Amino acid sequence: MIVDDELSKLKKLYDEAVDCDKALFAEQRVNILLKNGEHYKKSEAGAFNSRSKNRSEKEAKIRLVKNHIHRVVNVYENSILENNPSVTVVPYNDSEIHDMKAAELNNAVLSWVKETNDWEEAQEDFVNDFIVEGEMYAKIRFDYSKGENVGQDPETGEVLYAGEFVIERIMPYDLKRDADAKTMRETRFMIETKLMNMPDFLELVTSIAPEKYDEVMKYYKSPKMSVFDSSTGRYKEVRGKVEVRLFFWKPSKKNPMGSFTVCTDKVLIGSVPLPLGIFPIVYGGFDKLTNSPRSSSIIRVVKPFQVEYNRVNSKMAEHQITLGDDRVYIQNGSKLTGGKVKSGVREYHVTGQAPIVQQGRSGAQYLDYGKDTKADLYEAANIDYVMMNKQPSGDSFQMLFAAMKDKKKFVKYVNKYNRFEVNVFKTVLKMAKHYLSPQHVINVAGKKEAINVEEFKSLKDTGFEFKVEASNGDIESKFGKVLSLTHVLQYAGGSLGPAQIGQVIKALPYGNEARAFNTITVKSENVENLILSLDRGEYVPTLRYDDHQIILEALYNRIKSSDFLTLPPEVQGLYERKIMEQEEVLAMQTQELAQSQMGIIPAGGFLTTVNASWNDPATGKTQRIKVPAESVKWLVEKLTQQGAMGNQLSQLPPQAVIDIQGGASPQQAQGMPQADNQAAMPQPAPQVQGV
């Protein structure tokens, strides 16, 4: 009895949800027909040609369709898609290495999710729903039956897969909402009506409530039903399918994790908590309806104009068929006979009164009215400019400005779609750190990020580490970026170093090739990974071939940052130890360089005169100095090496330079006792929780 009462409550909620939006669902289905050119209940295209040759005025009216709704819809869809809408993850604070790394890892995950979901094609479907039906819905789930084969279950022998995220499209008329809600945020639940194949439905029943299997088979042995086909806009009968009602309950105080209930009109299957307590359905609407969470389409605006335009063109066709040809009236008793046919002339003989010729009608009296109706249609849709066919003119900046000006007409709807994508991928990233394994993260982000897997897994769902923002990659945005950066290179390129020019090139839309600029970025990437590892309390060994100058600069800056004192004492000690090791290796290399400068000076080659004089003790005269050419070359090379080392040392703090050049160990320079050889060896750092 309790189950029956619960099923009756669900039925009541479902019926209320259907009734409150029943008219809107009918409108959304009609919109699909209107876009496809099916503007009448019965198509007369096939019968039109057969009737047009011999038609009387008493026959049924002609119904013509000159479909401008299709063009309006395409203009709106193209206005969104040509912006190349996308999302990107940016660091919450640009100066924080942790935030920058979080953004990089999340962007790698987003790229993988888009690729596995064929996002360009899926994007077109969502935009089509947005414009035609006025609403778009996406359901995000993690499917363990997809992805890479990772082996077999040792107990069942079943093939196991790594899993992938699935972003599923829901048709707006298949999604019902809480009848009492005024906005989608206020709705307590959403109901998806889904048509499932019988085997898939039975598999769902088995996974949720296997004890209900017999009851389900009692009602659905050979199911059949009538369903709406969105591809044709008509209803059709299908067999072997079951209409399932999926209730998605939002998390609340009474139900913190939310829940997922499965039922049909006859059987309650059962309920389970929402995975991770994350509500999986994301909504976006075109024009919001007053006092309703739902939205309407642009077709609602242009439909009256299209109906009137069809009527005018149908009336013109009627006039052309009924009165189109010229008519000849002959008085009784008169006779009209054919005569000779000459070149370009046909001869007729008339006996009696001359015939009366009535010219045919083309329906031209409706032509101007029809043109005005069509112009009103495009003006109501705010795309009257498409009728003007203007050619672009002016220089590159003027053309760019004109393109940006046209885009302002659609900025409201572009922003709405962008918010939809942002919410979709925010939900994906919330789920990703729970569902993705470390190998998943390494596969999508690269092996170089293996040491940062814990950095990704420890990200907070809501925090100040990264932001998901909309980003447009349309040609106008890219062209504007190219213009601005090329102007910078033109006027300031002479004062920029190679590394800075490389960074500018990477910022160009088509210049960001990792392989081409890997030599510029690899050192900074290594330093970032080093800092992140130390912050997590992980020891990183010092290598002889490290770029000690860059590493020491980064370590000095890190310990001087304001948040360094908030790190655990073990982590702070790890930083001190790392700095000491790097300084020791740099001091040793400095000493080796000084020793390499001491040795036998080569004296080969011809004698060359240098621009200097000295007093020759043998002759007592002042004369120019002559030395072997190989000696001069050796001196220049040593001075060059010495200068390069001096430049590196000059970038370090003064105390560090004194420690390195003075030959004192870092422990002695800081007044610390010298440790024995065993203690000086790098030891594994204690593992602490990453901050």
pLDDT given at position 154: 79
Can you tell me the mean pLDDT for 51-70? 69
Can you tell me the mean pLDDT for 20-31? 93
Q: How far is the C-alpha of 61 from the C-alpha of 370, rounded, in Å?
A: 18
Amino acid at 145: S
Name beta bridge partners: 273. Answer: 259
Q: Is pLDDT at 669 greater than 80 in this prediction? A: no
Q: Are 312 and 369 in contact (CB under 8 A)?
A: yes
The tokens for 140 are: 């995000």
pLDDT given at position 454: 72
Helix (H) or strand (E) holding 215: helix 213-219
Q: Which of 87-91, 239-243, 374-378, 648-652 has the lowest mean pLDDT?
A: 648-652
Q: Is pLDDT at 129 greater than 60 in this prediction? A: yes
Can you tell me the mean pLDDT for 108-117? 91
pLDDT given at position 383: 85
Q: Which of 189-193, 308-312, 622-626 has the lowest mean pLDDT?
A: 622-626
Q: How many residues does the chain have?
A: 691
Q: Which of 152-156, 252-256, 458-462 has the highest mean pLDDT?
A: 252-256
Mean pLDDT of the chain: 77
Q: How far is the C-alpha of 442 from the C-alpha of 453, rounded, in Å?
A: 7
Can you tell me the mean pLDDT for 248-252? 94
Q: How far is the C-alpha of 14 from the C-alpha of 8, rounded, in Å?
A: 10
Amino acid at 315: K
How many other β-carbons are positioned within 10 Å of the β-carbon of residue 421?
21
CA angle 303, 305, 308 (to 5 degrees): 110
pLDDT given at position 477: 52
pLDDT per position as a tens digit, 389-445 = 555 555 554 554 455 555 567 788 988 999 999 999 999 999 988 888 888 777 777
* Confidence class for position 681, pLDDT limits 50, 70, 90: very low
The tokens for 421 are: 């994508």
| 3-state helix/strand/coil string of 460-507 | CCCCCCEEEEEEECCHHHHHHHHHHHHHHHHHHHHHCCHHHHHHHHHH
Please state the pTM of the whole predicted model: 0.68
Can you tell me the mean pLDDT for 345-374? 86
- Select the more confidently predicted residue: 349 or 676: 349
Q: How far is CA 649 from CA 540, 556, 558, in A?
A: 23, 14, 19
Q: How far is CA 398 from CA 12, 299, 404, in A?
A: 60, 33, 10
pLDDT per position as a tens digit, 297-306 = 999 999 999 9
Alpha-helical (H) ranges within 117-194 are: 119-132
pLDDT given at position 613: 79
Q: How far is CA 67 from CA 71, 78, 643, in A?
A: 8, 18, 78
* Confidence class for position 53, pLDDT limits 50, 70, 90: very low
Q: Which of 153-162, 168-177, 478-487 has the highest mean pLDDT?
A: 168-177
pLDDT per position as a tens digit, 554-579 = 788 778 777 777 778 888 888 888 88
